[in-house]
Amino acid sequence: MHNRVVITGLGVVAPNGVGLPLFTEALKNGHSGIKHDPELERLLFSCQIAGKPSVSAELAAQYFSELELKSLNSTGILYGVIAGMDAWKDAGLPVSAGEEPDWDSGTVFGAGTSGIDKFRESVYKIDDLQIRKLGSTAVVQTMASGISAFLGGKLGLGNQVTTNSSACTTGAESILMAYERIKCGRALRMLCGSTSDGGPYVWGGFDAMKVCTYKHNADPEKGSRPMSATASGFVPASGAGALILESLESALRRGAVIYAEVLGGHINSGGQKGVGTMTAPNPSAVQRCIKNALADAGISAAEVNAINGHLTATSKDAVEIRNWCEALGRSGIDFPYINSLKSAVGHCLSAAGSIESVASVLQLHHGFIFPNVNCEDLNAEIMTMVDEVRIPQKMISTDLNIVAKASFGFGDVNACVIFKKYS
């Protein structure tokens, strides 16, 4: 059995917009969600800017009970539940009522870390002889699968309910895991996506590694500069993205809005061999991932209209572009359009792939290519490979058919998803 798989719902909690309307407007206009972070300045971080979604207490109260909010200290769970439940609602799906769960629906919702602030808060209050006083609410917020457990309970999901974790590849990987489950007939629909905590305890290690920019603390919106000659490191960020994947038969039967189709994709690792390391990609693995994604989707490289890259505003941006050129056999003016959402939101870590996938699908559905901001001074090496017209700095209205979305993560892991306009 090989079911066609389509996308029928989207949800997003991003630094530049919470909810589809605000996020879509920000995408089209290149609006940034990166701001100065007083806490990072107080803690003497090199990078004192960040991308953090704005979630009011009033908004949170629409998704959590008063009791849940009283003890909730995990921004990852907060963001993930909002994005996930918004996607479910956007798909027009009911919440399971009565005693029986929805056996046909499940979730693969990824996370990198969970509840670090909650754990610190709990541990800070006790010494080693009072460990039992950590409190019962610490468990669900600090276990890796806390986000999928929350969503599974709130939506009454009876199919597979799980959490994946593969660093920056997490979001793209969750989509492909959900896709495979529906494709082979083990579920009718799956809520997939990923979330990421934010704050000093998540971002401190990256600041110590000196991979975050420190040159734009006085001008936050200029800080994230993928594909720019003056790129100086990524801007840390957080948030969540969610997609409802559903069999085409199920979607048509209930008259659902179809945003796009998932044609296929590929997941692999470079094994940290060759030039691949814990923090650097193995080019042969990246190229193999892209080529295999195209093969799985049953399309040629010439059919790709646009790429939403990983492109983090580090020295690896040019390496990524070279890998795309090699894998697709395309360069110069023949290269597809390419953009990076990180220029407007920063690097949302484990949530990056899912938020960027939501952006990719919105481009297909509404017929536009969102602009790359902060790359008015394009990287010279990139310019030798790709014509600057293919790196748009203003929104382009165009009828896209196929978008390739890729994510590459710590541990030399890769994922590439192929989205197609539904027809």
In tens, the pLDDT along 20-50 reads 999 999 999 999 999 999 999 999 999 999 9
Please, which residues have CB within 8 angstroms of residue 136's CB and are 6 or more apart in sequence? none
269 forms bridges with which residues in the sheet? 413
Q: Do 183 and 100 fall into the same domain?
A: yes
Instruction: Tell whether the model's pLDDT for residue 308 goes beyond 70.
Output: yes
Of the candidates 260, 293, 315, which is a domain's last residue? 260
- How confident is the model over 337-386, as pLDDT tens digits? 999 999 999 999 999 999 999 999 999 999 999 999 999 999 999 999 99
Q: Percentage of the chain surpassing pLDDT 90? A: 90
Q: Do 204 and 241 fall into the same domain?
A: yes
- Cβ 264 vs Cβ 297: under 8 Å: yes
Instruction: Tell whether the model's pLDDT for residue 126 goes beyond 70.
Output: no
SS3 of 370, please?
coil
Which has the closest alpha carbon to 7: 93, 107, 91?
91
What is the per-residue pLDDT for 423? 86
Q: Do 85 and 134 fall into the same domain?
A: yes
Instruction: Tell whether the model's pLDDT for residue 114 goes beyond 80.
Output: no
Domain ranges, residue 406: 264-420
Of the candidates 208, 231, 260, which is a domain's last residue? 260
Instruction: Tell whether the model's pLDDT for residue 242 goes beyond 90.
Output: yes
Per-residue pLDDT band at 178 (split at 50, 70, 90):
very high
Q: Do 255 and 275 fall into the same domain?
A: no
**Distance, CA of 227 to CA of 373 (rounded, Å):** 10
Q: Do 301 and 412 fall into the same domain?
A: yes
Q: Do 338 and 241 fall into the same domain?
A: no
What is the per-residue pLDDT for 125? 66
Residue ranges of the alpha helices (H) in 331-396? Answer: 342-345, 352-366, 380-383
Instruction: Tell whether the model's pLDDT for residue 117 goes beyond 90.
Output: no
- Strand pairing category for 306-308 and 402-409: parallel
What does the DSSP 8-state code read for residue 221?
A: G
Indicate which CATH number applies to the domain containing 181. Answer: 3.40.47.10
Least confident of 37-41, 60-64, 73-77, 136-140: 136-140
338-348 exposure pattern, b = at least 16 Cβ within 10 A, e = fewer: bbbbbbbbbbb
Instruction: Tell whether the model's pLDDT for residue 124 goes beyond 70.
Output: no
151-164 exposure pattern, b = at least 16 Cβ within 10 A, e = fewer: bbebbbbbbbbbbb
Q: Do 62 and 105 fall into the same domain?
A: yes
**Distance, CA of 279 to CA of 297 (rounded, Å):** 28
Q: Do 38 and 88 fall into the same domain?
A: yes
Positive or negative torsion for Cα 102, 14, 124, 208:
positive
Q: Which amino acid is at 193?
A: G
- How confident is the model over 184-220, as pLDDT tens digits? 999 999 999 999 999 999 999 999 999 999 999 999 9
What is the per-residue pLDDT for 58? 97
Instruction: Tell whether the model's pLDDT for residue 115 goes beyond 80.
Output: no
**Distance, CA of 382 to CA of 380 (rounded, Å):** 5
**Distance, CA of 228 to CA of 242 (rounded, Å):** 29
Domain count, the chain: 2
Q: Do 177 and 286 fall into the same domain?
A: no
Q: Do 298 and 361 fall into the same domain?
A: yes
For tokens 């710590």, name the residue: 410
Q: Do 389 and 411 fall into the same domain?
A: yes
Please, which residues have CB within 8 angstroms of residue 168's CB and are 6 or more apart in sequence? 310, 347, 349, 350, 352, 353, 407, 408, 409, 410
Of the candidates 227, 242, 260, which is a domain's last residue? 260
What is the per-residue pLDDT for 394? 97
Per-residue pLDDT band at 14 (split at 50, 70, 90):
very high
Structure tokens given for 235: 């801007």
Q: Do 220 and 352 fall into the same domain?
A: no
- 243 — phi, psi (to 5°)? -135, 140
What is the per-residue pLDDT for 345? 98
For tokens 């003056």, name the residue: 230
Per-residue pLDDT band at 18 (split at 50, 70, 90):
very high
